[in-house]
Structure 1
Amino acid sequence: MQETRLDTARIRAARQVIDPIFLDTPLYRCEALEPVLGCAVSIKLETANPVRSFKARGTELVASLLAGRAAVCASAGNLGQALAWSGRGRGLDVTVVASRFAPAAKLDRIRALDARLELVDGDFDMARERAAAIARSDGIRLVEDSLDIETCEGAATIGLELVDAAPPFDAVLIALGGGALATGVGHVVKTWAPGVEVICVQPLGAPAMTHSWHQRRVVTTDSTDTIADGVAGRRPIPAVLDDLLVVADDAVLVREESIVAGMRMLLDHAGLVVEPSAALGIAAILEDRDRFADRHVATIVCGGNVDMDAYHRWVGARS
């Protein structure tokens, strides 16, 4: 495999730094999904932890390097929660910049974890610009999801747990936003299980990274339009795209109705309440059943922070 920014020795060492509460998350074959999807599906559940997403695997590494100092990040909600949780335990003064249109449940949880929360009247990329400005003016560490290698290598520990599992998978479906999860897990899978297909999944309404992967250059968009707020970026980071081009076998886009159907399936057949980004893998299977027929597919359920009023509107509205 070509080189990426990630290092396998550091990824293995990361397991000694990350709080064990975020490690060795459930991985199980969900047989109830198989008749409706036409393939074997294993779920890697990253919601059964204090911040209900995979993000703390990365923020644990970041915070371990910054004990007693201050940091700021932009977040769609999950990274902010994770950095606040990791920072609180290490005496780190955390500021989170988010869109005021982010799910209220995510914003409330950031506040509850003692972080300072600043809201902007725009999307994630506007929050990223404001976070960078705060870092410059206050002279504090800017934590940039996916660009900071700790966020990728923390996520990569999920890959270690996947490749250690038996039986092996034919494919792994990974939600694609900024790229930390996809590049981290993809790096490990392609290092230790190169025959497993790494497929990234993004909403049709937030396609920047997927278009960038296919065109092998950074492609930006003017706006996003998706319920999957956790992956709704407009401006891919060049260094992250370079890594993704090495480790991903494919990147696909899925429709909003497929995301909602995936959320409903995870509730009905797996008993899981998930945020839209976590249902992208199921959505990809629904949109291309022939591709996955009779294969064993792993999907990472990456987050469970969802506004319940919105969730009931989406999942309760059956067509």
Structure 2
Amino acid sequence: MQETRLDTARIRAARRVIDPVFLDTPLYRCEALEPDLGCTVSIKLETANPIRSFKARGTEIVASQLADNGSTAVVCASAGNLGQALAWSGRARELDVTVVASRAAPAAKLERIRALDATLELVDGDFDMARERAAAMARDNDIRLVEDSLDIETCEGAATIGLELLDTAPSFDAVLIALGGGALATGVGHVVKTWAPDVEVIGIQPLGAPAMARSWRQRRVVTTEATNTIADGVAGRLPIPAVLDDLLLVADDTVLVQEASITAGMRILHDHAGLVVEPSAALGIAAILENRDRFAGRHVATIVCGSNVDLDAYHRWVDPAPNRRS
């Protein structure tokens, strides 16, 4: 039987390394969502921290290890949130952080990376082009390359969310997890399947960025030539084989959702939960909207994983009617 890369002892130990400001984020049943969704919904709010996403749980581990080893520099590719997280964690440990991102990444994310004192290099093309450039910089300068989802620290940092779900939530039937590179889904999924194996673990991707979901379904790496989704945080084309192997061990299903459902999920979270979220964070709500019968009467937990979004774009997506805002 295939073994996972994740280790439960390391996951528990990670909580001692991660800055407490990123731990024990709010988890609550959001009854106001339930009439629209037809099921009991608990929200794990990973936006309630200084970088407004879950990514620092992993970068805190990476940066701590680098500082302990006397390293002074690190580079990563990012769609925006990992770069902010690494910049935050690196700044606290006096590391020289470089982030490579696409010029098309949301301006709000890029501005925040700069504000956190990281060096930002922009490339033409998408996230996977940024990955190639970051890897080249790491080789040329002999510095650490942080690869989200491939580096086990990013997965095990995210897995601490799973510990908190199981420690504080009432029993639930399914957990809906945004699926991009796979760190969040494999990390949380590993913890859930280790200690609550009857809970369904479901990864959610946009129809316009389906590479990891297709790979899970076919049990082999499936790449795509392009992505077409507003959910930039999960818009990868090239799944990592080792991450897919981990995902195959813990995910019960993967679901693809339409763009209209993503914006509807963002709107529902705004109107009924008072939350402004980025598209990736609404994937779980989008999945419920498209699969009402599947989740009817069940208790579902979903991780609201980020809220770094350009407000102009947000209003275009969430307020399509000219007079909706008043």
Query: Are 2:289 and 1:267 equivalent residues in the alignment?
Result: no
- Cα shift readout 1:38-91 (whole Å, capped 9, x = no counterpart): 000000000010100000000000000111420000000000000000000001
Among candidates 301, 305, 308, match of residue 308 of structure 2: 305
SS at match of 1:66: helix
Give 2:222's aligned amino acid.
Answer: V
Shift of 1:164: 1.1
Query: Are 2:228 and 1:225 equivalent residues in the alignment?
Result: yes
Matched positions, count: 319
Shift of 1:29: 0.1
Shift of 1:187: 0.2
Identity of aligned residues (%): 85
Whole-Å Cα distance in 1 between the matches of residues 297 and 2 of structure 2? 31
| Structure 1 partner of 2:200 | 197
- Cα shift readout 1:94-120 (whole Å, capped 9, x = no counterpart): 000000000000000000000000000
Shift of 1:165: 2.3
Whole-Å Cα distance in 2 between the matches of residues 103 and 269 of structure 1? 25
Query: Are 2:34 and 1:15 equivalent residues in the alignment?
Result: no
Give 2:268's aligned amino acid.
Answer: M
Give 1:62's aligned amino acid.
Answer: V
| Structure 2 partner of 1:57 | 57
TM-score with structure 1 setting the length: 0.99
TM-score with structure 2 setting the length: 0.97
Confirm or deny: 8 A CA contact 2:27 2:169 kept in the other structure.
no
| Structure 2 partner of 1:92 | 95
Confirm or deny: 8 A CA contact 2:174 2:301 kept in the other structure.
yes
Among candidates 99, 102, 107, match of residue 104 of structure 1: 107
Moved over 3 A (4+): none
Query: Are 2:142 and 1:158 equivalent residues in the alignment?
Result: no
| Structure 2 partner of 1:296 | 299
Whole-Å Cα distance in 1 between the matches of residues 296 and 3 of structure 2? 32
RMSD, matched Cα: 1.0
Shift of 1:317: 0.6
Query: Are 2:119 and 1:137 equivalent residues in the alignment?
Result: no
| Structure 2 partner of 1:32 | 32
SS at match of 1:105: helix
- Cα shift readout 1:10-54 (whole Å, capped 9, x = no counterpart): 000000000000000000000000011000000000001010000
Among candidates 77, 83, 97, match of residue 74 of structure 1: 77
Whole-Å Cα distance in 1 between the matches of residues 79 and 119 of structure 2? 15
Query: Are 2:253 and 1:250 equivalent residues in the alignment?
Result: yes
Whole-Å Cα distance in 2 between the matches of residues 33 and 228 of structure 1? 21
Q: Which deviates the most, 61-70 or 251-260?
A: 61-70
SS at match of 1:200: strand
- Cα shift readout 1:229-287 (whole Å, capped 9, x = no counterpart): 00000000000000000000000100000000000000000000000000000000000
SS at match of 1:314: helix
Unaligned residue ranges in structure 2 (runs of 5+): none
Unaligned residue ranges in structure 1 (runs of 5+): none
Confirm or deny: 8 A CA contact 2:263 2:318 kept in the other structure.
yes
